Amino acid sequence: MLSTIGYEGASLDNFIRTLVAAKVQVLIDIRERAQSRRKGFSKSALDAALSNAGITYLHLRVLGDPKEGREAARAGQMARFRKIYSGVLRSSEAKAALKVIADASQRSSACLLCYERDFEHCHRKLVSDKIESRTGRKTRHLGVKRFEQAASLTR
């Protein structure tokens, strides 16, 4: 199974608990730069927190949205954004990464990660569309849920 999730506005605790509740086994980070100003969402910290929750972390930088694509999306120029990112997806490296995702989603419950809360305005939707067309299986788009803080997974 393939899912997607964005962490915009989410706490690390709620993010991880959402993944656990959805039975995600592998989180595939498709940010170009696995860095974040949001505490816990940079590569090393996120990998450690996921590992503590029993979730494998994989970073596929080659599927990241390049700077000009991010700028176009932020400016609301979605046609330009899609054109830029479609160029990324045509590369041989991206095609190999798409195969990694398709294979992972057949073996386990995999989830694509990026920042944007709304998957419709994120390149992870374009990636998941490619995987859907390849595998014939529908993607589940997760939203980070809010949980009570008492039973934290990230402390």
Domain regions of the chain by residue span: 2-147
The confidence band for 150, taking pLDDT boundaries of 50, 70 and 90, is: very low
Measure the CA–CA gap between 115 and 131, rounded to whole angstroms. Answer: 19
The confidence score (pLDDT) of residue 146 equals 86
Is-above-0.75 flag for pTM?
yes
Measure the CA–CA gap between 45 and 72, rounded to whole angstroms. Answer: 29
pLDDT at 130 over 60: yes
74-88 pLDDT, tens digit per residue, is 999 999 999 999 999
- Calculate the average pLDDT of the chain: 94
The confidence score (pLDDT) of residue 16 equals 97
Measure the CA–CA gap between 149 and 98, rounded to whole angstroms. Answer: 36
Fold of the domain built from segment(s) 2-147: Cobalt-precorrin-4 Transmethylase; domain 1 (3.40.1010)
108-120 pLDDT, tens digit per residue, is 999 999 999 999 8
